Structure 1
Amino acid sequence: MSSASEPRAVARDIFSATIGSICCCYVGQPFDTVKVRMQTNPSIYSNVMASTQAIWMQEGVTAFWKGAVPTAMGMAAENAMAFGVNAALKRAFPDPVTQSEEGPPSLLKPFAMGAITGCCSAFVLLPSEIVKAKLQVVVGKNITVQEVIQSILKRQGYSGMFAGLDAQLARDSSFYAVFFGGYELFCYGFRTFVPSMPDELNYFISGGLAGCVGWTVAMPFDVPKTNVQASYDSKIVGTYVPELLRIAKQRGIGGLYSGLGPTLVRAFPANAALFLGVETGKKLFDNAVWKEAA
């Protein structure tokens, strides 16, 4: 790619990721709220149905979108970083076979690029994840994003906005490795074995499946991450591993999969909407925002 076309490619990545992020956030946030409640307070929120009913009856339907604003902002920043970095890595290290569509894509490169992408996005996502986790565990009253941030700064200082960095890195690197790698493989599989499938349906199903597989792999890292970030006593680095071991000891290995049910229920529609939004955003950008020079 020429240097002249690089700004357009970057703008395209950011625009499409923002469109996809908005779609993903508002489709998936209710499931994410249930997941967080189950992870941080399993004695009360023991299963998906009971947790959903408890939140609905006690706090109303709007409670399912608690933290949606910082989540949408965080997702936009995260996905702009994630899809931008991943696309930049693809441009820097292209896969000739994938580009020509004459054979299967690399089985290693998309996963390695996804892991690198996850490490980069973790730094962007971390502050909004901390605020979101603290918002979602509050039961019975409504508090604002500003109140949570003020509480963090008062009780932990500025370092509180980066508590659990090691947790975020562990979760995001594992998730994005499978997320982007799986998406490439699913897309290739559907193009190969279901050639009549419309591209939009391929993006939708492949994105949903990639999200489900990614979260299944990342969930044991996500449960202690949620607990670390919901607490006001966590350090930037060093709280995560003890919390992981504590959960495994007290709840067993199954405790590291708390919230997997609502996560998987959320993962398919949310990530299907994300990838469909991203791919649609690319087409919209090409056709209406910044047409490529002839």
Structure 2
Amino acid sequence: MQSQRAGNALAAFSFVLWGLLPLYYQYLPGADINDLLALRIIFSVPSMLLICWMLRQPLPVLSLVWQDKRSLLMTAIAGLIMCVSWYAFTWAMTHGQVLAASLGFFINPLFAIALAVLFLKERLSHAQSIAVVLGILGIGYQVWHYGELPWISLIMGSFFALYGLCKKNIKFDAMTSVTLESAILAPFAILYLLWGYSQGTSTALNADFATQLLYIGSAPVTLAPLVFFALAINRTSLTMVGLMQYIEPSLQFLLAVLLFNEVFDGVKAVSFGLIWLGLLLCTLEALLRIFKRSKRLQA
């Protein structure tokens, strides 16, 4: 029980940090996303090693890591999946699309439900079935009015759900898996930056020192919530993680509308409203299930 409470607290804290990330990326408007991704991957490795040292966590033992090739493969896949989700998220943050990022994480639970049905053979509850239908209606309403799919939101929501599924199939501890995700991709990121520098096309490497620090700083500021999320995922249930996740898009939504003055028109109000209604039904159902389980344990 104590471990689960710790997992819930870690999950909540990770989503608060994610929710506040738009504040950091406002200092990098129109950033080169490719350079940003490459520098984030490269500097994630020393950042993770520093975090391991601060938390007195043992460094990954390569011989033991190599023995579990399935977990190693899943770690590499998880790293690639997170890159796609993070790429879309960062583009939204640096191009005045914080509302799109918020929508992406609001619909993420719907993708998680779909993955559970497809890969874990779970059956949808009544509330989940209604939420999926409402989510499709919400996205469909935007497509009908705007004439295009909200690609950024869909990419973010689907790939982050895939990342969570991958993490459930990795036997390494949280710190090892997050470190390996970056270490596996770091050589490719270094080659990309070297190529960009040789061609004179690298925006980050040719920028002023303050801007370069902001690019490099994207590693620790995005790793912090990822580490807390990785620590939480094996200490609590996916249901609780799903409930906690609403913290992040709610904070981003408030920042987008109240601080960044993004347009929240009637179409988005209807779309968000339908999705919120479905998530509310799932939340109430999950809370009722937890309450009933607690009553049985006390009986």
State whether TM-score is above 0.5: no
TM-score (norm 1): 0.31
Q: Which has the higher contact order (CA 8 A, sep 6+)?
A: 2
TM-score (norm 2): 0.31
